[in-house]
Amino acid sequence: MDQIIVTGNGELRGEIPIAGAKNACLTLMPATLLSEEPLTLTNAPRLSDIKTMTQLLQSLGAEVTTMQDGQVLAMSSHDLTSHVADYDIVRKMRASNLVLGPMLARLGHAVVSLPGGCAIGARPMDLHIHGLEALGAEIELKDGYLHAKAPGGLKGATVEFSFASVGATENVLMAATLAKGTTVLKNAAREPEIVDLAACLREMGAQIDGDGTSTITIQGVDRLSGATHPVVTDRIELGTYMLAPAIAGGEVECLGGKLDLVRSFVEKLDEAGIEVTETDRGLKVCRKNGRVKAVNVTTAPFPGFPTDLQAQMMALLCTAQGTSVLEEKIFENRFMHAPELVRMGARIEVHGGTATVHGVERLKGAPVMATDLRASVSLILAGLAAEGETVVSRVYHLDRGYEHVVRKLEGVGAKIERVREK
């Protein structure tokens, strides 16, 4: 297994290109199952999660061809040969459940393994199930698999989510594109990845209105055609690299970044004393003189502060002046990075969904363990300004969501290398 070694090395300067969004790509890929015609995605990120989704689609009979070093995914679901999403693939990645809605809509039946427990909380699928049942699906749980069928086809309905779940909104939205009649999704998630999915589905001929708001209306059509669609910028990768100069000092321009993707995050950076400017190429981030100020952060569905940036923000606040309180409202067990940051000299107390961070002058490098995707990158960020060497192990978590992390950070002057574990 590989390790990443980071040595605090002063200010960072230069540019970091931001990739296409993992979470958008993971919902755009299953959209291929809705149509007999080819769907091509450009600006795809090069990540192990994308390979897992590729394997899953291929196991269903879809063709997926990777071009331009992985940035273009040409997919065709002309001949589907299976309707079973196997546990062996689904257990690797929860987003595998996004094949359920499309398969059900296209084939009238689908069998999808439940993803199982996940390190950051229970993450059940009840909202996906209720939404699809409202469209007329019959869903049963047998031997760890959801067996779904819609013998008479799906029918439009009003679905009100009790929580604005991203995955449930995506699954039901995709299914509704081929349902008979009108579907209205209330309390739908408003994340940019949903807007990107709706844009792609519209390019395929779907009739969708209201994406980006909490009420989405879908007028079902008989069939969808092919399309070529560029994946939206990854706002989480963007926010992560914006924190690099915020933590280490200096000035970095994140190419492809847009304020609209990260407004609530930028508000918190501003409070902390970090300057962000929108340029014609992206977002420029600069650490003003002096120490970062403590800020309080509460995670919330979009447009609120993203849970996927909470760990990285905590890395910044470890060396802030004063005490910050971080409240995690989306996942119940998402502070696993805190004890690792404490190994680096941070002062953090965790009580339930609240972490209190008392800022210290400087962190010290230490051997630490990546526990999940965002936690792993928070340790690398913390290492950028720590004294001495931080050795992050279990970096396979990182490969799920960050392409070329070493190259991107080296490009702005960080001292970072990836080595085989001794």
Query: What residue has token string 């799906």?
Result: 154
Does the annotation mark 200 as catalytic? no
Amino acid at 15: E
**Mode of pairing for the β-strands spanning 354-358 and 282-287:** unpaired
Q: Which stretch in 166-174, 175-183, 352-360, 410-418 sits in contact with ligand UD1 by CB under 6 A?
A: 166-174
| Closer of 193 and 340 to ligand UD1 (Cβ) | 193
Q: Which of 118, 200, 286, 318 is an active site residue?
A: 118
- Minimum gap (Å) between residue 103 Cβ and ligand UD1: 17
CA dist., res. 148 & res. 110, Å (int): 5
Whole-angstrom CA distances from 173 to 159, 168, 383 are 10, 8, 41
Whole-angstrom CA distances from 342 to 272, 326, 362, 366 are 21, 15, 12, 10
Q: Does 173 bind ligand UD1 (CB under 6 A)?
A: no
Amino acid at 138: E
* CB 305 within 8 Å of CB 265: yes
The response to whether 88 counts as a known ligand-binding position is: no
- Minimum gap (Å) between residue 385 Cβ and ligand UD1: 26
Pick one of 23, 54, 77, 319: the residue that binds ligand UD1 (CB under 6 A).
23
Q: Does 92 bind ligand UD1 (CB under 6 A)?
A: no
Q: Does 335 bind ligand UD1 (CB under 6 A)?
A: no
Q: Which stretch in 1-9, 163-171, 205-213, 384-392 sits in contact with ligand UD1 by CB under 6 A?
A: 163-171
- Minimum gap (Å) between residue 54 Cβ and ligand UD1: 15
* Count of residues interacting with ligand UD1 (CB under 6 A): 22
**Mode of pairing for the β-strands spanning 145-149 and 138-142:** antiparallel
The response to whether 51 counts as a known ligand-binding position is: no
**Largest pairwise CA distance in the chain:** 65
Q: Which stretch in 55-63, 123-131, 246-254, 376-384 sits in contact with ligand UD1 by CB under 6 A?
A: 123-131
Amino acid at 324: S
The response to whether 75 counts as a known ligand-binding position is: no
| Closer of 185 and 320 to ligand UD1 (Cβ) | 185
Q: Does 331 bind ligand UD1 (CB under 6 A)?
A: yes
| Closer of 123 and 155 to ligand UD1 (Cβ) | 123
Pick one of 262, 330, 344, 409: the residue that binds ligand UD1 (CB under 6 A).
330
Q: Decide: helix, strand or coil at residue 384.
A: helix
* CB 175 within 8 Å of CB 135: yes
The response to whether 330 counts as a known ligand-binding position is: yes
Q: Which stretch in 117-125, 218-226, 248-256, 411-419 sits in contact with ligand UD1 by CB under 6 A?
A: 117-125
CA dist., res. 121 & res. 100, Å (int): 21
Q: What is the DSSP-derived secondary structure letter of residue 44?
A: -
Q: Which stretch in 69-77, 122-130, 390-398, 404-412 sits in contact with ligand UD1 by CB under 6 A?
A: 122-130
Q: Does 94 bind ligand UD1 (CB under 6 A)?
A: yes
Q: Decide: helix, strand or coil at residue 32.
A: helix
* CB 307 within 8 Å of CB 331: yes
| Closer of 156 and 167 to ligand UD1 (Cβ) | 167
298: left (phi over 0), alpha (psi -120 to 50) or beta: beta
Helices (H) and strands (E) in the chain, counts: 14, 24
| Closer of 109 and 130 to ligand UD1 (Cβ) | 130
Amino acid at 257: G
Q: Which stretch in 6-14, 57-65, 121-129, 279-287 sits in contact with ligand UD1 by CB under 6 A?
A: 121-129
- Minimum gap (Å) between residue 24 Cβ and ligand UD1: 8
- The full length of the chain comes to 422
- Minimum gap (Å) between residue 168 Cβ and ligand UD1: 5
For the beta sheet containing 297-298, the strands, ordered from the edge strand earlier in sequence to the opposite edge, are: 297-298, 323-327, 354-358, 347-351
- Minimum gap (Å) between residue 27 Cβ and ligand UD1: 6
Q: What is the DSSP-derived secondary structure letter of residue 20?
A: B
* CB 19 within 8 Å of CB 234: yes
3-state secondary structure labels for all residues of 263-314 = HHHHHHHHHHCEEEEECCCEEEEEECCCCCECCCEEECCCCCECHHHHHHHH
Binding map of ligand UD1 across residues 181-220, x = CB under 6 A, - = no contact:
------------x---------------------------
Active centre residues (catalytic) = 118
The binding site consists of 22-23, 94, 123-127, 308, 330
> Which parts of this chain interact with ligand UD1 (CB under 6 A)?
23, 26, 94-95, 121-128, 163, 165-168, 193, 307-308, 330-331
List residues forming the annotated binding site for UDP-N-acetyl-alpha-D-glucosamine. Answer: 94, 123-127, 308, 330
